[in-house]
Amino acid sequence: AVVSTQSTGVQSYLKENDKTNSVVLFGIEAHVCIQQTALDLLTLGYNVHVVVDACSSRTDTDRAFAFQRMRQAGAFLTTSESMILGLAGGSDHPKFKALQK
């Protein structure tokens, strides 16, 4: 089964938390679950950030083409370190150095 925002209640949650405009995605089956969710969220107008080193697929080909399709649709591809350090807000965060390890 394809997991998307329609089948998981994600849309309801996001409507209840209407200050959300960006979503970070990671997980398994990048070419199915992550991709479909990303495409759904992009259609709904959200900024979608896919953490590529925290996503897997059964084959490298499926994974690569999923990332390509999501990027072409408007998703931002990033890495876990980049995402974590970005969420920290900069090097002046008291735990910035610890986050780098």
Rounded Cα–Cα distance for residues 101 and 99 (Å): 5
The residue among 20 and 73 whose pLDDT is bigger is 73
Q: What is the pTM of this model?
A: 0.86
> What φ, ψ does residue 49 adopt, rounded to 5°?
-115, 120
DSSP character at residue 57: -
Q: Give the helix/strand (H/E) hosting 27.
A: strand 22-27
Instruction: Provide the residue type at 75 as one letter.
Output: A
Q: What pLDDT is recorded for position 7?
A: 62
The answer, yes or no, to whether residue 8 has pLDDT greater than 70, is no
The answer, yes or no, to whether residue 3 has pLDDT greater than 60, is no
Structure tokens at 38: 């990303």
Q: What pLDDT is recorded for position 92?
A: 85
Q: What pLDDT is recorded for position 1?
A: 38
Structure tokens at 37: 């969710």
CA distances from 79 to 8, 9, 33, 50 (A): 25, 26, 18, 8
- The tens digit of pLDDT for each residue in 9-61 reads 777 888 888 888 999 999 998 999 899 999 999 998 999 999 999 999 999 99
Contact 52, 44 (CB under 8 A): no
The answer, yes or no, to whether residue 2 has pLDDT greater than 60, is no
Rounded Cα–Cα distance for residues 76 and 22 (Å): 10
Q: What pLDDT is recorded for position 4?
A: 61
